[in-house]
Structure 1
């Protein structure tokens, strides 16, 4: 069964897909009224499901005329995507959650298949990388960088 967060996410993604410029401006309170929830529920969805790792840039302005602007980051080239993912998002260390978000983005962009994404997630999971967390996050980062370099070189 889907929850309210899933419906809010789906609604925002539909609006984004229909937008000619790939962005949407919303008011938190108006969206909360539509879904009959508290504004903090909207914040939760935006903060957890519209992250940089997942390919979104979120800007917000608070106050009376405040808004939230969500933009889908367009992939200009594979080289730029590789630089963004490996240097800016992954770095020297990465958690499983952030790693999985990056893999999901590769899947969403059609750069990997469902099977490849599943294999990438298993290879970088906590259960497979059973070592101290600091070391595990560094090993995961190195593995993801190599996987992404290989995928984007095809």
Structure 2
């Protein structure tokens, strides 16, 4: 059985897929009413399921006329996408950010589900049994190399 967070995420993703611009604007209170939940549940879904690592940009305006705008990031060239991914990874990467990036790469067909599971295991805390600052640095190096390999194998 799906959780309310899964249902809200699926609803928003379906709306995004139907929108040629790749951008939707919703009201937090209307979503909360539609799904019969508190507005903070909507905030949770947006902040955890629509992250930069997963390929989304979220803008939010609070208040009576407030809204949440979600945009799926699109790139004009593979090179631009590659450059953004490397900048996003940076010199340190948390496990959650890396897992989100792996999800994005699999969702976009740059990595198979199997490859995603293998890389996910490689970057986990269980394998990288190091102090946090060192672990995040090693994880970032691994993810940069994964991205470079994926783009090199696709003609980049």
Pairwise same-fold verdict (TM > 0.5): yes
What residue number does 1:100 align with?
A: 99
Alignment pair present for 1:118 and 2:82: no
What residue number does 1:133 align with?
A: 132
Q: 1:78 offset after TM fit, Å?
A: 2.1
Unpaired runs of 5+ in structure 1? Answer: none
What residue number does 1:41 align with?
A: 41
For the aligned residues, what is the CA RMSD?
0.9
Alignment pair present for 1:10 and 2:22: no
What is the rounded CA distance, in whole Å, between the counterparts of 1:41 and 1:99 in structure 2?
24
Q: 1:125 offset after TM fit, Å?
A: 1.1
What is the rounded CA distance, in whole Å, between the counterparts of 2:116 and 2:75 in structure 1?
19
For normalisation by structure 2, the TM-score amounts to: 0.94
What is the rounded CA distance, in whole Å, between the counterparts of 2:123 and 2:75 in structure 1?
24
SS of the residue aligned with 2:47? helix
What is the rounded CA distance, in whole Å, between the counterparts of 1:150 and 1:124 in structure 2?
16
What is the rounded CA distance, in whole Å, between the counterparts of 2:11 and 2:75 in structure 1?
23
Q: 1:51 offset after TM fit, Å?
A: 0.6
* Correspondence list, 1:40-119, <5 A: 40-87=40-87, 89-119=88-118
Q: 1:76 offset after TM fit, Å?
A: 2.5
What is the rounded CA distance, in whole Å, between the counterparts of 1:93 and 1:66 in structure 2?
34
* Correspondence list, 1:21-40, <5 A: 21-40=21-40
Q: 1:107 offset after TM fit, Å?
A: 0.4
What is the rounded CA distance, in whole Å, between the counterparts of 1:142 and 1:128 in structure 2?
14
SS of the residue aligned with 1:111? coil
Q: 1:59 offset after TM fit, Å?
A: 0.8
Q: 1:102 offset after TM fit, Å?
A: 0.5
